Amino acid sequence: MSALHGIMAKWWSLKWKIQIVGRLRSARRGSTCLLLGLYKDGPTPDQQKQKAASSTPHHNMCRVRDAPVVVLMLPFPAQGHLTPLLHFSRLLALRRLPVVFISSSAHNRQAKLRLQGWNLASFPSISFHDLPLPPCPVPEPDPESVIKFPAHLQPIFDVSDRLRDPLDQLLGSLAASSRRVVIVHDPLMSYAAELGSRYANVEAFAFRCISAFSSLSFQLNQRKDPKPVREGLRPVSPEGCFTKEFLEFVHRRHHAVPLTAGEIFNTFDGIEGEFMEKLTEMPRYENRKIWGIGPIFPIQLTRGSDPKPGLFNWLDMQPDRSVLYVSFGSNSSLSSAQVAELAAGLEQSGKRFLWVLRAADRGNIFKKGTRPEIHLPEGFEQRVRGSGLVVRGWAPQLEILSHGAVGGFLSHCGWNSCMESLSLGVPLATWPLHSDQPANAQLVTEVLKVGVVVREWGGAEEVVTAGKIEKAVRRLMADTPEADEIRERSAKVRDAARGAWAPSGSSTAALDSFIRLMCRVSDAPVVVLMLPFPAQGHLTPLLHFSRLLALRRLPVVFLGSSAHNRQAKLRLQGWNLTSFPSISFHDLPLPPCPVPDPDPESAIKFPAHLQPIFDASDRLRDPLDQLLSPLSASSRRVVVVHDPLMSFAAELGSKYPNVEAFAFRCISAFSSLSFQLNQQKDPKPVRQALDLVSPKDCFTKEFLEFVNRRHHGVRLTKGEIFNTFHGIEGEFVEKLSTLPQYKDRRIWGLGPIMPLQLEKLSDPKSKLFNWLDKQPDGSVLYVSFGSNSSLSSAQISELAAGLERSGQRFLWVLRAPDRGDIFKKGADPEIRLPEGFEQRVSGTGLVVRGWVPQLEILSHGAVGGFLSHCGWNSCMESLSLGVPLATWPLHSDQPANAQLMTEVLKVGVVVSEWGAAEEVLPAEKIERSVRQLMVPTNESLDVRKRSAELREAARQAWARGGSSRTALDSFVDLITRP
């Protein structure tokens, strides 16, 4: 069964199961709803709705018709990740949503045991489901290790991958019996999003257990030229915060996070609104929402039984705000030398303190056996008895921080500890040890200014002296103007935390928004069919566009012959197709046809050898029609996005009331406008003083006749999509919209369609990238003429001579044009270079034969220019990555694109004028143009500056409120409308 038939079968199965569940529920109104035994006895969903109707208004948001919305909560197996997801479960349970907390039996037990602030027994709609996790050997923590990251837990982290299969089985059962299943997972468990994307009614959201500030800091650090999180604040590098093994683990796990519909942070506008806003401008959030929902623990705490007899009795006897609480979290510990210095510092400070002294958590906290004793200096506890208390083992931190006697917190700055302290108005003394803690400490002390520094992050491996500790404790706890200001700011942050949960507060609004989204009611799914024209420059952009729609949770079926589907997958760059299981491929039968080999010596550079393939693509019409018929019957709407040269798709779609067609143009708006103005009786220029490029000079006569036959169906489309953005072509998109053919049809500029944060799929140790890594920044000219163009042997000799004489570094991709079937066996004819050329330029140049990952090359820091044929994909990649161009158009839309690059945007220099397209360009002219682009002069520096500005404009197009993001919202809203 093909992938498409599999999708259809799932949808029909789901429809029948929902109808059956609905009828059973109608027949057995009032009975207890059972989902795999996960619900406890309690009110039925209908009874819950009746009760909700008389309760507060926001409880009415989940009026489900058939099966309920079920929330699965999947934490990462570590204490700092278990707690926030259990707190978030309570917030959803308060909105009458059933929540299933899923993990290993040991971690579920741990989460329940250490819960603070509210009573789990009061929330019967929260249940726990144990997933089987095989045992694995976990070493004991080593407090004497210089590295404070809990590396001893790495085996537990690695083995958590074994939860994948049990989770998949659970999802399959729940998806069949529920209207929607929502997975809220830790980003380090992102395979949950991957598994969920296989089901039409499963949606995934990531819950980040770190601050927005630290998340932003880490993401900015991944950039080539990291910007500060805020003026004067350098981002903290993750390399110093984690072990190499954990960073590799993160890299393996994070690839599926883009499949989530959005991310939730335990934060609120009053402390991190600025950084949440900056996060939304990052490329990875271009199509995903962010919610700041915090503090997630209850503002009014329910105190449990005292697990440490005497602890609260002691606190009750201390004056208000006089006690410094000292704790380093669940997964950190100090060396014996550091414990001794800390003890001395606390004693010398003369301040009251409550010190929780414990070893880091084991892999299984319930494992029997005594822990090694942590020794304090002899007589210490006796000497501080009047002012200090040492508590060994785990302690209820939330309840301690909420006690009136506590006036400060000496903390490792884990985000849970920071949020608890901030929300309860307790100032901090910061002592970061690993992970996100250094960035959190920076937020607390330098941004919010509600704490003092005990240890700077730069000195993380040193033993902090007693004198330094004493000084920091006195600064925080003494009655001084500085300490009073810190307390005043802390009180304001506490009030802001309470305000966030007021009826109109930021966290209340964010939670409302999140629940509205996951409880929305939809009918049968919208299906998108993607039909490209069978040529490389048309396959790639439609596959990139498929990714953008898949990020919006739309199922996409990519259609083509088996050879072209295989070609599209093989040459995909910038993102991993396996991370998008909602994109499937369906092979349409295309009969074989004889295709001649390309002729590089031909004066006409248009790939005329592919014309038989173009003509044969008309044979895809009948298979497409056979596919549309059953899909239109089983779906609320079928959307066909097709190349204008495949406009028979719009013709076929017009026969069905629920099929809509849209054309995706793989050329620039500028070249499209240029060609269309040329057809007018009295052609006007695209812009004053710009000559129009005539299509007659750019294509063969046979191809123009083919275009004329194919184009008549375009008028049946609802609109056209261009891979462009307002910052480069807003003027020309606007002019296009005034042409008569767009009178009743819309235009969207949705570019750049490639991901702006590229996932490197090539071998970084390959000869090509090894060579690039050794070159200075911005020094290499990349030379390539695309997939369907080639130069004559005489022109190759002149180009080689020009590159050599220029004295500039270059990477030259030398290859024959694509055959009709790129997988056809047989060697391509050898392309000869002048004798001794490669040896003479071995210090400065590299020649690569065959296809290369152009996106990854252009994104490399060593590349500072691109000698290009000016195909629109190449232009958009170069523009979006800030690489200036040397233009050498050969055919098709390339002359108009070259005009746009050099005369309008002014981000390139001319190598070959279009009028001289059939002449052999001499080496001298090539040398002059290469030096004009690559040698630092006022002119080349201006070109580079403009290129950098357009790169930034490309990023802004996908930021919140950006032109491309707004256009994509508009397009998705249109195709998914009720």
Q: Which residues are known to be catalytic?
A: 538, 643
The answer to whether 465 and 341 have CB atoms below 8 angstroms apart is: yes
Q: Is 776 helix (H, G, I), strand (E, B) or coil?
A: coil
The DSSP output letter for 574 is B
d(C-alpha 42, C-alpha 835), whole Å? 85
> b/e per residue, 292-309, with b = 16+ CB within 10 A?
bbbbbbbeebeeeeeebe
**Residue 522: C-alpha distances to residues 5, 180, 293, 920 (Å):** 22, 10, 25, 61
The answer to whether 114 and 83 have CB atoms below 8 angstroms apart is: yes
- Tell the burial category of 946 from Cβ atoms under 10 Å away from its Cβ (0-12, 13-18, 19+): middle
The answer to whether 143 and 335 have CB atoms below 8 angstroms apart is: yes
DSSP string, 272-334: HHHHHHHHHTSGGGTT-EEEE----S-SSPBP---SSTTHHHHHHTSPTT-EEEEE--SS---
Question: Cα-atom radius of gyration of the chain, to the nearest Å?
Answer: 32
Distance, CA of 764 to chain centre: 22
- Which residue, chain included where needed, has tokens 């990952």? 853
**Residue 324: C-alpha distances to residues 343, 826, 972 (Å):** 13, 77, 54
d(C-alpha 146, C-alpha 335), whole Å? 8
Strand bridging mode 637-642 / 583-587: unpaired
Q: Is 360 helix (H, G, I), strand (E, B) or coil?
A: coil
* Pair of tokens at residue 72: 């699965």
d(C-alpha 885, C-alpha 903), whole Å? 12
Q: Which of 312, 486, 484 is nearest to 402 (CA)?
A: 312
Helix axes 79-94, 415-423, angle to 10 degrees: 50
SS3 sequence of 847-901? EEECCCCHHHHHCCCCEEEEEECCCHHHHHHHHHCCCCEEECCCCCCHHHHHHHH
Is the Cα dihedral 419, 420, 421, 426 positive or negative?
positive
Q: Which helix (H) or strand (E) holds 180?
A: strand 180-185
The answer to whether 156 and 139 have CB atoms below 8 angstroms apart is: no
Strand bridging mode 637-642 / 526-531: parallel
d(C-alpha 424, C-alpha 421), whole Å? 5
d(C-alpha 161, C-alpha 155), whole Å? 11
d(C-alpha 132, C-alpha 912), whole Å? 66
* Pair of tokens at residue 370: 């005594």
d(C-alpha 200, C-alpha 190), whole Å? 18
d(C-alpha 98, C-alpha 95), whole Å? 9
The answer to whether 429 and 472 have CB atoms below 8 angstroms apart is: yes
Q: Is 126 helix (H, G, I), strand (E, B) or coil?
A: strand
SS3 sequence of 788-844? CCCCCHHHHHHHHHHHHHHCCEEEEEECCCCCCCCCCCCCCCCCCCCCCHHHHCCCC
d(C-alpha 415, C-alpha 292), whole Å? 14
